[in-house]
Amino acid sequence: MEKKTIAVTGMACAGCAANVEKRLNQLEGVKAASVNFAARTALVDYDPKVITPKMMKEEIIKAGYDLVIDEGESVEAIEKTAYRQLLKRMAASWVLALLTMGISMGWLNVGGTSMANQTMLILALLNITYCGSRFYSSAWKQLRHGTANMDTLVAMSTAISFAFSVFNTFWGESFWAPRGIESHTYYDASVMIITFVLTGRTLEEKAKKGTASAIRALMGLTPKTARLVSGGSTSDVPIAAIGKGDIIEIRQGEKVPVDGTVADGRAYIDESMITGEPTPVLKQTGDKVFAGTMTTQDTLRFRAEEVGQGTVLAQIIKMVQEAQGSKAPVQRVVDKIAAVFVPAVLGLSVVTFILWLTIGGEAMLPRAILSAVSVLVIACPCALGLATPTALMVGIGKAARKNILIKDATALEEIRKVDAIVIDKTGTLTIPNKDIDFTKAADLGLEERETLKPYAHEAIDTLKHEGIDVYMMSGDKEEAARYWAEKAGISHWRSKVMPQDKEDLVKSLQAEGRHVAMVGDGINDTQALAAADVSIAMGRGTDVAMDVAQVTLMGTDLRRIPDAIKLSRDTVGMIKQNLFWAFIYNVVCIPLAAGVPYLFGIHWQITPMWASALMAFSSISVVMNSLRLKFK
């Protein structure tokens, strides 16, 4: 099986994401697919022997969307082009909207009522065919496949408003006058719906760029070119041209382009982007260097060993992308609601139309149409679909900037529940003394062989202050275990433990109803890491421990553990806020759009024009609210 994050284009709302996800999951060879509307990505777990990304792309295109699978295609370039087109259509829509509103409100005099209506018809038709063409083509594709999305609601509402207005322009007087009903046109509503929706999407896209800033920052760490040493001379070549075994030269202030081993020279390198440690590290012959790190002084040459997707930085980027593309448990529930939301809105709109006709008869036909259109527009599930993924993207991105790598959204949601932490001693709480003479280790004390990690005591105090119990486990003898437990401020500790003992402690705490996190760095910690509710590995530990762990702390600073817990609480709190306001928005606005106040003698309701404005505002507010996480 292979897991891959693939960019998705053409999605307009949570309903679109649900359609793409459903389509992918129906394909033979796809074990599981998770589509993130905010990130515009699909995380697909598939069998490459049965299905390929190209085959997935062909199926998704049939559904009206697209997958970016060609490595030569730049997702950023595609998004920039789409954004520029969106800006053009929005600008044109505003020009047509202002002209239409000017005529409708009597600010622009173009002749009599008949001439005004015909002028607005032309303006509205231009708006639909150019500015709003995307909504109609998308809605048609959805209809062909028996599905519906946000574009369906926009297309139906604007088409109904436009068609009703065209009828009233040419036959309104002769049809309504004998019935004692005044004829009106609603071209302004048709135009403003498209204008507000386009404006909302433009602002939404701009705001969502901020939620993905962590990924862009990580990607920006890798230089575009490298200085290749060949035959005694150097030349700048594209990063893609570097192969394993090539000799690369880097000078002061330059970034390391690929992972490798120093072959000649010595230099201090700032590795804070990987380790979180602010002090530059001296690198000389035989030492490892990593892509994205920067030389602070001197020059060295190194042999390339890992290039492209094999570098540590590429793996970090992949982990963050997959985490941002994953779904928290709460999102699964929201997705189920969003999947049926659009059909439910269509049904609610029809019910609204029928009820108005039932209450008022033929005289209420204009009111019935306006109310049905308002319901179609205002009940868009965009805010609902954005509520969780935007908060997760910001939260996981913020964690990455703090050198906390979170594998998936479930882990981010679960960390906040932790009330007991089991922590390994050697390599996790303490580090070996680098000046130790191992030939005399048996004669050394306990404090001479190891050093407590910087800020370890501060981190433990913070956890205890948060009401979290900390248990230290060590395979060392009792005197050593007691010494380091007291040094770190840990009350609960055990010595001479085996790997099974660590797992047993985790399970015994869980049996008491505790939510347990295990922090370790070695192979002997993997059993306990796998058993824990949340598993945390140190970035300088073994690959096995990091593979098992849900969270990896890059570097040695244990303060990142309480940081991760706080971030989890902040992120989940933000998700709850977003979902609350998304639901409240629909609960309050749908009745107002349907005209319920009229039943209580209040002659006021949300018109289609204002419905589109409120719908756009709800989506933007959810994204902007999520961005507040950056500053918490």
Secondary structure of residue 431 in the 3-state scheme: strand
Specify whether the backbone of 45 is left (phi greater than 0), alpha (psi in -120 to 50) or beta: beta
Pairing of strands 294-297, 225-230: unpaired
Three-class SS string for 68-128? ECCCCCCHHHHHHHHHHHHHHHHHHHHHHHHHHHHHHCCCCCCCCHHHHHHHHHHHHHHHH
- What DSSP assignment string belongs to 168-235? HHHHHHHHHGGGT------HHHHHHHHHHHHHHHHHHHHHHHHHTHHHHHHHTTS-SEEEEEETTEEE
Q: Could you tell me where the DSSP H helices lie in 402-548?
A: 409-415, 456-465, 478-488, 499-511, 526-531, 543-548
Question: Which residue in 188, 424, 476, 557 is the catalytic one?
Answer: 424
409: tokens are 């959204």
> Please, what is the angle between helix 329-360 and helix 382-401, to 10°?
160
Q: How many CB atoms lie within 10 A of CB 79?
A: 16
Specify the length of the chain in residues: 632
Q: How many CB atoms lie within 10 A of CB 278?
A: 9
The answer to whether 443 is a known catalytic residue is no
- What DSSP assignment string belongs to 595-620? TGGGGGT------HHHHHHHHHHHHH
Q: Which residues of 212-221 are buried (b: 16+ CB within 10 A; e: fewer)?
A: bbbbeebeeb
Q: Which of 2, 1, 4 shows the shortest CA–CA distance to 325? A: 4
Pairing of strands 247-250, 300-306: antiparallel
Distance CA 594, CA 367 (A): 10
Pairing of strands 66-68, 2-9: antiparallel
Secondary structure of residue 502 in the 3-state scheme: helix
Distance CA 602, CA 596 (A): 9
Pairing of strands 516-520, 534-538: parallel
* C-beta separation of 555 from 403 below 8 A: yes
Contacts of 168 (CB under 8 A, 6+ apart): 117, 176, 183, 184, 185
Distance CA 550, CA 530 (A): 9
Distance CA 547, CA 424 (A): 17
* C-beta separation of 515 from 568 below 8 A: no
Element (H, E) at 152: helix 150-176
State the residue for tokens 């719908």.
615
Q: For residue 259, what are the β-bridge partners?
A: 306
Catalytic residue numbers?
A: 424
